[in-house]
Every structure is written in structure tokens, then in C-alpha cells.
Amino acid sequence: MTKVQIYDKAMCCSTGVCGPQVDPVLPKFSADLDWLKEQGHDVIRFNLAQDPSEFAKNATVKKMLADEGVECLPLVIVDDRVVSRSEYPSRENLAMWTGTAMKPKATLPMADDSGCCGGDTGCC
């Protein structure tokens, strides 16, 4: 499957979902990464405060940090290619970059033109 790496800014914990002021984007993104894992993808997340050596090991990340500073974070790398920087992507984008099919959103049934309930239901 696809290898997904996330390089986060320095946060107090591995997901940033802690403390009194949680950015509402972080719990959603964390859930999206859990979903990717459930689809069989290899998802690895690095926090600058807790994993600085991982940032130094990756030549692409190291160069982007040198050129742009921490403003380029978070970086999302899929199969060694930077696909997103400076923001957390949506589940739809993660699915597209990893080739993961998403279930269509559920829709409510609609009545046809033959009456309030549609067809010969006898309800009207």
C-alpha cells in the first residue's frame, strides 16, 4: 500500500489533540489518518518537538525547512512526494493521493412525480 508521512510543527503531544486550546482541524485530521490506516496504508506522523531527528533524516523535509522555515509545516508526503504543505488536507485529498476509494455520501430518497410517496404505495 501507500506510505504516508506527516511532518507536524512542534506540538505538546503526537497529535496536537491535547491541552485547553485544541485546534478543531487536528481531531478531524487525526480521524482521517486513522481512516487511512484502516484502509491498509502505512501512515507515520512526526512531531518536530518529539521527533527532530526524523526531520533531519529526510532530505526533502530538511531542505524545505531550510528554505521556508517551519511555516512549510505540516508537510504531507505520499510515497516520497510532497503533496501538501502549510495546512492539513481533507480526507478527500488524502483519498485521492493514495488512490483510496471513498463511499459516496448518503442521500435522502426523493419522491418521484407520481405523488407524495411515489408510485402506488397507497399512503396518500
pLDDT at 120: 61
User: Helix or strand or coil: residue 115?
Assistant: coil
Q: Is 56 exposed, middle or buried (0-12, 13-18, 19+ CB in 10 A)?
A: exposed
Q: Are 33 and 89 in contact (CB under 8 A)?
A: no
Please report which helix (H) or strand (E) contains residue 91, including its range. helix 91-98
pLDDT in tens, 63-107: 999 999 999 999 999 999 999 999 999 999 999 999 998 877 666
pLDDT in tens, 33-71: 999 999 999 999 999 999 999 999 999 999 999 999 999
Q: Hunting for cell 493521493 — which residue is that? A: 97
Q: Are 12 and 19 in contact (CB under 8 A)?
A: yes
Question: Is the model more confident about 68 or about 21?
Answer: 68
What is the set of domains in the chain, with CATH numbers? 3-98 (3.40.30.10)
pLDDT at 104: 72
User: Helix or strand or coil: residue 81?
Assistant: strand
pLDDT in tens, 9-19: 987 655 555 65
